[in-house]
Amino acid sequence: MSAIAERVSSTRSRLQAAEQRFGRPAGSVTLLAVSKRQPASALRAAHAAGLRRFGENYLSEALGKQAQLRDLDLEWHYIGPIQSNKTKDIALNFDWVHTLDRLKVARRLSEQRPPGRAPLQVCLQVNISGEASKSGCSPRDTLALAHAIAALPRLRLRGLMCIPAPDSDFSRQRAAFARLAALQAHCRETGLALDTLSMGMSGDLEAAVAEGCTLVRIGTALFGPREQGEHA
């Protein structure tokens, strides 16, 4: 087995153990492989081990890898910060966007999504820990923004996403994810058909599963440490 195949297998076991421990149905949490700063060969190895959903943070780096992996049937998720002059490349080259947090960007993505393709699947990112420097809309703006995004024709709003402030304490990890889950429930009560709660990374996967995530975004646990330094 390749090192990556072993990591894929142990991460799958970890996810299954969490589902079981917290009473979640087996297979109810989707594993998104976060492949930023990993070479195309690492994605190829992860695909050989059974993964086909990949999350990328940096647009030019992602486009380069997509070109090298055209022969594989992959689903591409954009999970990085979105500059408004880069929306076209995102609308053309990704299936999902998890980091939508402004209406202006949402409108551009909707206008630029080609008519022949499925709508762009999106999650609204919420700044759940209230950090001044973090991206994400504020919890109090979430409901109105979610309704505005859901009305755009070429986007399909699937749910909410967060990246809480790093915290190694399990109960505090859970508390942050519980706030996002409550916001999602509130959005659903007001008529939005949301089915995706994108939360949990290598360090807090169990807490996210405990609080009802439907998709975890896992990088380090699957691929090992990332290359440091400037991204492409």
Ligand X SMILES: *Cc1c(COP(=O)(O)O)cnc(C)c1O
Spell out the residues 6+ positions from residue 230 whose beta carbon is closer than 8 angstroms to its own: none
- With contacts defined by CB under 6 A, name the span among 16-24, 114-122, 174-182, 214-222 that binds ligand X: 214-222
Query: Of 15 and 163, which CB lies nearer to ligand X in the complex structure?
Result: 163
d(CA 47, CA 7): 12
Query: Of 145 and 208, which CB lies nearer to ligand X in the complex structure?
Result: 208
* Residue 34 found at the interface with ligand X (CB under 6 A): yes
Query: Of 7 and 24, which CB lies nearer to ligand X in the complex structure?
Result: 7
Kind and range of the H or E run holding 55:
strand 53-56
- With contacts defined by CB under 6 A, name the span among 9-17, 129-137, 181-189, 215-223 that binds ligand X: 215-223
* Residue 135 found at the interface with ligand X (CB under 6 A): no
The residue among 60, 61, 2, 57 whose CA lies nearest residue 32 is 57
Touching ligand X, residues 47-66 (CB under 6 A): 57
In 61-165, beta strands by DSSP E: 75-78, 96-100, 120-125, 155-161
C-alpha distances in angstroms, 64 versus 18, 78, 113? Answer: 35, 14, 20
Whole-number minimum distance, CB 217 to ligand X, in Å?
Answer: 4
Torsions phi, psi for 126 (to 5 deg):
-115, 135
* Residue 97 found at the interface with ligand X (CB under 6 A): no
Torsions phi, psi for 167 (to 5 deg):
-155, 125
Whole-number minimum distance, CB 201 to ligand X, in Å?
Answer: 4
Query: Of 34 and 213, which CB lies nearer to ligand X in the complex structure?
Result: 34
Q: Do 162 and 213 meet the contact criterion of CB atoms below 8 Å apart? A: no
43, 45, 79, 181: residue in contact with ligand X (rule CB under 6 A):
79
* Residue 219 found at the interface with ligand X (CB under 6 A): yes
Residues that bind ligand X (CB under 6 A): 34, 36, 57, 79, 163, 201-203, 217-221
